[in-house]
Structure 1
């Protein structure tokens, strides 16, 4: 009996090995069959290797006293000195973190739902030519850099010659310095950010809506459901998986408050409400040449962002939706 059991175990183990070997061979054949498709992936892998993984070598600057003549590898280690200085000795740091969180909060509350609403509005349009025209107009600002758009906004929002303030004067309101007044600067950032990216962000949600089974709408019409009930019970539920994934990404980037936008629009007069972690790192690293301290701040931001991604993914999975991991 024991010998028979051992023989059966050996046969089952051998069978499992054979199945695994056959599976590996089938996968290798599939890869060989699609080798040209993998070649198309090669440029992206090279780009990420050079520009995303290559710079990780410089992360050690956060733990070293950088000396130019000795280079990164030869500079002496100083441990967590920069992190202690960042958390204990830098009075501006917590104000900058607060500015970053406040701006990101505004972007999430007002900016995150904007492309969803726009996609729902586009989905309800029946005139195809008007729908395509409206989509093209909404996409257009995305293709301009903030260098170009900041010049446009400074001109349009100028308190003396800007179109917006001239309209305000027509209704007997005082001109507003949207770019230079700290009370209005965050509002300007959020609104201009939505204007630039809302059309481009709606593409993902329009793709999700296009994949919704049309038979669901036909069945709803037969049951007497109007457009509002179809929106609530078919359209919105079909968007929930995509919204969950995009929300994870957005929460993970909560410490990214829009470096390009802020850098091109803020002035010393608005530093108190506009200076964020990315602009702080830019000034420390490139203007003041404090490479170690700037690297420590950047590393701190990225570690927090990674933790937020994991936390948001966990919350989404607990809610019953599909997460990233």
Structure 2
């Protein structure tokens, strides 16, 4: 149970104090959030209804896209709703809940990216054993493990916050609740708690990044003996994933591999990983992947034909 002290709600300062900027941002972020939901939902539906996308790579991609929708939904709807309001507040319970789901879905994304790198390693370096190793049961187990690991990571963050009292002030210079701003508002010494929280999130990021780096290093080394066309085809399947990895881990490095304090750039970095990255995910995978584009085109044509058949 969180020790509340005298504080029962927090005031969020939002993105900007300028009302005109807030109005423009409200309309812009509403459009971006709708694009995030639509784009990632399109990937989930395409993978679910296209037989040509039945490989483990696309199975993991569909789950990643679904988690992207959930992750963005933890902050974007409230941001959009709060922007036109002069007073932006959130209850203590709502704040803690938001922190939990941000780290829950963020942790799942991190583990899914690691699983996807392992999948590419097996497909390229162990092609004869790939189908045997990456069967349907193993894929389901890996995804379930990612969800469990995300839950344990987020629960650890919340448990570290649970003993902190909040006596005032209650103003958070951000547009959503996160761990570091809450640590600054706690009316007790939070150095050790902050160290544990950063170590928890930072160690997961570093370990995952090392696994990713190792996987792609082995892949590049393995491809030296392939033909030019073979290298091109193999690297094209990895390019989209590597791009998403860079976009995901860049903000993680900025947040966790620095002193345990907030800074003015945090808001812009937060916009990047809660809005821009989930928006770019479907664009990256669709534009760089011919199989996904063809599957979407076929699904669209099939849907139109079914509608015409029902009308007749």
Q: TM-score, normalised by structure 1?
A: 0.28
Q: TM-score, normalised by structure 2?
A: 0.29
Q: In terms of Rg, which structure is larger?
A: 1
Higher relative contact order (CA 8 A, sep 6+): 2
